[in-house]
Chain A
Amino acid sequence: MFAALRVSGLVVCALMVALSSSGCRTKPKPPTNVPVSKSDESIKPITLTGDDGSVPMVGERTADGIRVTDVVFESVMFEFDSFKLRPSELAKIEKVADYLRKNTAVHLVTEGHCDERGNNEYNMALGEHRAQAVRAHLVGLGIDAARVQTRSFGEEKPVDPGHTEAAWQKNRRCEFALFR
């Protein structure tokens, strides 16, 4: 019963993202006011601050703490010059949300990266928007916004230093850095 509800919540999220992807390039719309199962004990609607879909940062920047290294999550990948969350990437974010629900002492930083093409300064902002899109989705899945910070590396930290389409594709990503 609860599992079914959780799946339906996911489907709603996926549908919203899929719907928002019509047209040549649309911005990610985090699920606003979508009932999502936060834990097996309770189901309540998540109200995001503001009606524009953006999730403001909470309080001061917190120290990273000790890096969690016993679990590694797959990076969320992006299209060129886009911060849209593709439906194929949503399951990766859901896995992180599951982990965070079970490990309440863990907080994380979503780290946005770009490929080397394009202006450095613009890429800093684009990488940040990728990190923010993933953060907003986590919050939509019921994760406390105060547990998620963002960090953009722009084009400064490629995983593949090559100058090929294959390398660029690998570099357009959002990584999950977990701390406790």
Chain B
Amino acid sequence: MINTRTHAGRLFVFVVFALASAMSAPAADIQIVKSGSERTGIDVSAFVPGSTADGRLFLKTMEEDLENSGWFTITNGAAISAGGRWSLDGPKAECTVRHQATGQSYLSRAFLSRGTDVRRTAHEAADAIVQAVLKVPGIASTRIALIGRVEGRKNLYVCDADGRNLVRITDQNAPCLSPNWSPDARKLVYTSMHNGYPDVYLIDLGSYRRDVISRFPGLNSGAAIAQDGRRVALTLSKDGNPDIYVIHWPDGRLTRVTNTPRAVEASPAWSPDGSQLVFVSDRGDKPNLYIASADGGDARQITFQGSENVAPDWGADGRIVFSSRLGGRYRLCIYDAAKGVIESLPDDGANYEDPSWAPDRRHIVATRSVAFRSQVWILDSMGGPPRRLTLPAGDWYSPAWSPR
């Protein structure tokens, strides 16, 4: 059944997937976002970059960031104008943003480069403009953690949200996977086999100190830190099969969240309020998403479509993005509990996996693979164009967007 209608300037195509399985629970409608959202024009021609390379780099980077935010498009003569100049005194960028016709001032602020690179200063300015004009958080200053397989070696990397400033965090020749951020964006948890077994480590990105935080017999993997920074959800198999557990910091007390001897559980992700976990379980034969209290107890199945539903990430606005195997391909879908619908992002013939929400609650970073080669792309849940992160030659996996 396909039903097309226009709603609030956006075109949705509603496709109700016929369920092959005899699952009795109701299937949510699948909505496909077909068109991009409206963008606000912003005129940056009044900004004076000066004669230095730094000034020009600042302006170019800020322009890219404003476009990448999804909310703005650079347009000469637009109602909103960004002016100011790159000053060698600091050096710093002095920025003013105002409405041309009404004279309303949105922003008047200097962004000191403080010895850090010019691009970072531009990211700060772009985020401040997005926040001042549209009252939403920007993403230019955020980072993405990911796994790269370069020249056959898998390692943990971190880059800026625009794909630049790529830093290799580890230097090992052993499988590693599934990085996730601490709430303060200063640390990463990830799974590494450099000591022979899959164990979970915590890396401090300031000191590069690495501590093992879980090395029980069997599997330790898929760690996710709660927003309170005091609990880690992960998969352990120490009691005889892979189940979801929560480690409480600092005392190390364990809560067993699932207890399914004949099923696999994996990939826990925290609800925004830290009270619940969404995870993958094949207790109903196929891998599907379930929600349970972080204290344990009964789990509720939330996906029934396709042949697999995996890799959930629970966004700050309550929407869960995940990868769903539909029609032989992995597609990104968003489960909106409040609306009771599952929206799927457009199908371009590629496989999309391991999605992670940006802190703007709008963009999603995910792997996009074609013919078993994997790259990282940024997608817009509001229908804007997808963007590939430009990274060195290799395969790139498991991206995780920093919380801020």
Contact = CB atoms under 8 A, between A and B. Distances in A.
**Chain A partners chain B:** yes
B15 to A, nearest CB: 23
B240 A132 contact: yes
Nearest to B237: A128
Nearest to A126: B264
Interface stretch (B84-92, B137-145, B192-200, B335-343): B192-200
B221 A61 contact: no
B20 to A, nearest CB: 12
Interface stretch (B212-220, B247-255, B384-392): B212-220
A163 B323 CA distance: 21
B280 interface: yes
Nearest to B372: A163
Given A53-B262, A125-B221, A153 B175 contact: yes
Contacts of A50: 240, 261
A154 interface: yes
A77 to B, nearest CB: 18
Contacts of B196: 64, 151
A110 B323 CA distance: 30
Contacts of A83: 264
A55 B308 CA distance: 28
Query: What interface size band does chain A fall in?
Result: 35 or more
Interface string A18-57: 0000001111110000000000000000000010111111
B23 to A, nearest CB: 13
A29 B262 CA distance: 8
B70 interface: no
Contacts of A119: 266-267, 280, 287, 308, 310-311, 323, 353-354
Contacts of A57: 216-218, 237-240
B191 interface: yes
B310 A122 contact: yes
B232 to A, nearest CB: 15
A129 B286 CA distance: 15
A156 interface: yes
A25 B239 CA distance: 23
* Secondary structure dominating the interface of B: loop
Given A125-B242, A151-B196, A120 B397 contact: yes
Interface string A62-96: 00100000000000000001010000000000000
A20 to B, nearest CB: 9
A118 B198 contact: no
Contacts of B237: 57, 125, 128-129, 132, 150, 152
Interface in B264-294: 264-267, 280, 282, 285-287
Contacts of B154: 156
B356 interface: no
A118 B353 CA distance: 9
Nearest to B174: A156
A154 B381 CA distance: 30
Contacts of B191: 124
Nearest to B323: A119
A159 B263 CA distance: 26
Contacts of A157: 175
A58 B240 CA distance: 10
B301 interface: no
B154 to A, nearest CB: 8
A120 B367 CA distance: 12
A152 to B, nearest CB: 5
A61 B241 contact: no
B222 interface: yes
Nearest to A64: B196
A136 B240 contact: yes
Contacts of B261: 27, 50, 52-54
A160 B217 CA distance: 28
Contacts of B239: 54, 56-57
4 A-B pairs with the lowest CB-CB distances in the bound complex, closest first: A54-B240, A27-B262, A57-B217, A156-B175
29 contacts: A24-B285, A28-B262, A50-B261, A56-B240, A57-B216, A57-B218, A61-B216, A64-B196, A81-B282, A81-B286, A119-B310, A119-B353, A119-B354, A120-B177, A120-B354, A121-B267, A121-B398, A122-B310, A125-B221, A125-B222, A125-B265, A128-B264, A129-B237, A132-B237, A152-B221, A152-B237, A153-B175, A154-B198, A163-B371
Interface of A: 24-29, 50, 52-61, 64, 81, 83, 116, 118-122, 124-126, 128-129, 131-132, 136, 149-154, 156-157, 163
Given A151-B197, A153-B193, 19 more contacts: A27-B262, A27-B263, A52-B262, A53-B262, A57-B216, A57-B237, A57-B240, A81-B282, A119-B308, A121-B222, A125-B264, A129-B237, A129-B241, A132-B240, A136-B240, A150-B218, A150-B219, A152-B221, A154-B177
